[in-house]
Amino acid sequence: MIPFNLPLFTGREKQYTSEVIKKRKFSGDGVFTQKCNLYLERYLKCKKALLTTSGTHALEMAALLIDIKKGDEVIMPSFTFVSTANAFVLQGAKIVFVDIRPDTMNIDESLIEKAISSKTKAIVVVHYGGISCEMDQIMRIAKRHKLFVVEDAAHAIISKYKNKYLGTIGDIGCISFHETKNITCGEGGAVFLNHKSFTERAEIIREKGTNRSKFYRGEIDKYTWVDIGSSYLPSEISAAFLYAQLQEVKKITKYRLALWNLYYKTLKNLEENGFIQLSVIPKGCVHNGHLFYIKTKNLQERSKLISFLKLKGIMAVFHYIPLHSSAAGKLFGCFRGKDVFTTKESEKILRLPMFYDLKEPQVKLICRKIIEFYSNEKK
């Protein structure tokens, strides 16, 4: 069986986590937490990076930092994971869903302005598969209407848009280190603060509403409760595990891109003959090989192909059910404009196995089986 995903393990994780165990300093903001924060800041050139317990919690921190309140509206795509919406719903926001582009599965930047009302507080963009949204236009819209831009860059570690790393373009960026991501610590994330004005409050929110970070730095002689907050700080064990992988991020990304390109090259003929569609990388975008998907003609064909691949020992999966069609999506949000592509395109997507331990012969085998499926369909 070729699994859909296997979490990354480089080998150095054992050494670093053993160091933490030896020192018996398990709670967060120790040496490895600081190493990870600094590594991300220097690599991505963001003003401040803070590790969090998950990508979900990074988004929740973003909602708190931009002061989302009951009655505010937040614009985002419906084709995303539930955490993107939940973080803002928890603060009382109404979610306004808009349609996506069929080429990238990202929010359609041309529809955002029509969805803005007097209650709109923020635009949340999702860089699906590590492929960037059209950030120049989105940032211009946000500036014109004085709105915050939060980047859900959960998939997008070291992906770029016009030479800028994703997560560092909007006001706040959020990333995930879940075990399904390119770089992982099992459960984890980070928030990127692209304006210095957010930094002090972010440290307080992350430390349960206290100014303990200042205390640890020796800036105050005692710490106290000063604001709202929660426990968004990961353990030092998680940070040590993550740091081992961050040090290999270039190598990991290079190999994933080689697998991605092999899939693309081998399946291109099927696309040229009208059987499937492949993803599009817009000009100016550099992705990270986070996932590889094909689009079938419809939901029925996708289901049939999933079953066929499973019989051949290959696990392939579909992705998100659009949020606006869910019970909670209807309760906490609305779709503004027409759903031309969100539902239709989401029903076609089939994600193929993609992980660091996947080998090129396995990719070739997967492609052969997909080609075999369509050869049988043609007959």
pLDDT tens digits for range 242-251: 999 999 999 9
What pLDDT, on the 0 to 100 scale, is given for residue 220? Answer: 86
Asked if residue 347 has pLDDT above 60, the reply is yes
Among the listed residues 74, 99, 100, 71, the one whose alpha carbon sits nearest the alpha carbon of residue 85: 74
pLDDT attached to residue 377: 77
- Can you give the pTM of this predicted structure? 0.96
Q: Cα angle vertex 211, ends 209, 215, to 5°?
A: 150
Q: Which residue has the higher pLDDT, 324 or 212?
A: 324
Per-residue pLDDT tens over the stretch 131-164 = 999 999 999 999 999 999 999 999 999 999 999 9
Among candidate residues 24, 66, 36, the one with its CA nearest the CA of residue 177: 36
Cβ burial of 49 (10 Å; 0-12, 13-18, 19+) is buried
- The helix/strand/coil state of 52 is strand
- CATH class of the domain defined by 12-248: alpha beta
CA dist 103 and 96 (Å) reads 22
In the predicted model, what is the mean pLDDT of residues 342-361? 98
How far apart are the C-alpha atoms of 287 and 289, rounded to whole Å?
6
Out of 101-110, 193-202, 254-263, least confident range: 193-202
Task: Give residue limits of the domains in the chain.
Answer: 12-248, 250-378
The pair of three-digit structure tokens given for residue 36, joined into one six-digit string: 């990870």
Q: Which CATH class is domain 250-378?
A: alpha beta
pLDDT at residue 378 is higher than 80: no
* pLDDT value of residue 343: 98
Q: What type of residue sits at position 206?
A: R
Residues 252, 248: Cα–Cα separation, whole Å: 6
Segment 184-223, tens digit of pLDDT: 999 999 999 999 899 999 999 999 999 988 887 888 888 8
Q: Are 65 and 198 in contact (CB under 8 A)?
A: yes
Tokens of 50: 């803070």
**CA–CA separation, 99 and 54 (whole Å):** 27
The amino acid occupying position 200 is E
